[in-house]
Amino acid sequence: MDLTWMGWTTPTAVFFVVIGGLIALMCIWEAVSPGGHPRKGILQFETTRGDRLFVTLLGSAFINLAWLAWFGSPLWWALVVCAVFALLVFLFV
């Protein structure tokens, strides 16, 4: 597929495919187990699954930006940090 008309690179395309996949997985999860019962975690306000996904994505963006500022590329270890961050958010927030 030729995506040069938009100046996309393969990593950019993969990024948007992963975001779309996460949203699709959240939709499937909601269809299988409706409600998602809001809960109060360490932030002391109620969050739903969607809220936790948003916090995870936003936090991961900042983790990657900080990694680039402090260590440069490659970002493989930042990906590991983001995965641990995502696990912690979904468990405790």
Looking at the fold, whether 80 and 64 belong to one and the same domain comes out as yes
Q: pLDDT band at residue 1, thresholds of 50, 70 and 90?
A: low
Rounded to two decimals, the pTM is 0.78
Q: At what angle do helices 10-32 and 49-70 cross, to 10 degrees?
A: 160
Quote the domain boundaries for residue 28. Answer: 1-34
Which residue reads 């998602």 in tokens? 36
Domain count of the fold of the chain: 2
Q: What one-character-per-residue DSSP string does 33-92 give?
A: S-----EE-TTSSEE-HHHHHHHHHHHHHHHHHHHHHHT-S--HHHHHHHHHHHHHHHHH
pLDDT, tens digit (0-9, with 9 covering 90-100), for 4-37: 677 777 777 788 898 999 999 989 988 898 877 8
Peptide bond before 74: cis, by omega within 30 degrees of 0?
yes
Q: Does residue 13 share a domain with residue 53?
A: no
Q: Are 48 and 64 contained in the same domain?
A: yes
